[in-house]
Structure 1
């Protein structure tokens, strides 16, 4: 462990870019700034990533990492529990087991968890009935629905829950003065419903383009069945005449957004805010969004203001919304400007970093 005052745990995988590489690529304009890299600067923190595990971790943790990376990272922090001033876990699957270990051994009670989806059963049991929130000083979540679930059903005290909207690097993703293409685009993998998207676009006088997959998912070797299902869904969309892009780099993705008429986020009806990253990126680019009104996706879109909601799984309703914005380009432009205003007011990366850093510092007092 270095002399840094804090430690940020992030999922690690083979081939993962180092903190320095991510920062340099962002400086060169090759990618957006990475939230945990910026947070590490603010907190004067080490980042527990693949570089750390390979070069600075305890021998026993390094050995375990060859078989099971996440348990190895949890073990590394547990073994060093007297070291960092603050610990921020950037994933549920890291922070919850660490809190359980600390509870069993009467260890530190000040881990901050940046969470995404706590209502999933295998995660929820850590909070209720196991009650590991006693050894979490704060839980930060992007979605208000998940925050409500944690308070009302998982018995997490309200004063430990902090809502931080999904940030976006508004400097990288920004409106561009380029000619619009003849397509609408959909982006992302988690909980997507591209079969419905393909049906909705059938007969619409605009092309449809989908960008799926990410270097994170492919390099991690994550066998998650949901992702395999989304891959099949995207393949079905491709068979239906939708152009599918796989693993675009960040600048190519930005170009796809820039020339799109607007952005569609077709979702399965889940209780987490899946799709929020793409919604934030699209809004930052000044694009109107058409989004499935799922149980969990409630925080960013204001129907008729910065986008349109449609019932999940309803191809006819989705087609009608798409056709409306194609027929009314001025309306799509107005919504896009409203989305950009929301980004500048509430979704900036610097604002998120400041909020999370403040919660981390104050919750440890």
Structure 2
């Protein structure tokens, strides 16, 4: 086949707006259908973005012109929905995480391979000009040999702004599983696979209250750790320290520093697509690495997949990477519970940085 790749979206919730407002502007993909359990909500989103079709999941999977399906369901449904997409003969782009357990997620990646289909996993912020510029600088030797990393993400918690935040504090949620994919994906792109993790942590509250939206004032149970610190050992001998918290009144997010033998690189927030990096040398000199991230947003990974389907090549954020990041996160929680290091059983091939000037806004197919 040739020409733009047809795309369908399952899940018309909060995150779908961010995907659709960008996917509908990229010429190498055409969004053809939006599906949701609530078909009226799907119709509303489709109408808002000029998408021709909407309806049920089964109706979407029956669409012959849809080649990639974007899975924006809740984390607990990711594996089940992604498997259904694959069995319908379509490629999958899944919101993070790939799943909530190792066995089911590994089976998903294996099934995609058996069927000769692609599976990609968020975050695709790794494809943004901000992180890609930093990765090219690191691969180019600007900091020497990468030795260590320091990352930090702390906030008061999404219960202050999300209208239905329960799932972010229960199985499949918490700051490690919710925010970890951005930071761990960035670190794996720099250092390669994680070999071992050791963590400590707790949850500050057993019950929290929704602050905004139609459910404001409603209380919900917290079951996951909400304040976690960890040490990562990478297979190449480097290490990283990270802190994830939904319990801090002082919000500090997007903090990623990579130190090498010759310099330290301060990366932009891995939960964004742009932002300049700053190179700091031992004599205190600071040099900014500017970027042009105009028009970039969620959906870059779908464009990367569309081009790979037509032209071949590896995905920047493929299923093996998504599976490895999940393994790191689950091992972090296991280490916290056991109060002992946990060895990571998976590894992930890391794609080279995108060529300078890679542009999702360009028509290439």
Normalised by the length of structure 1, the TM-score is 0.37
Instruction: Report 1 or 2 for greater relative contact order, CA contacts < 8 Å, sequence distance ≥ 6.
Output: 2
Normalised by the length of structure 2, the TM-score is 0.37
Instruction: Say which structure is richer in helix.
Output: 1
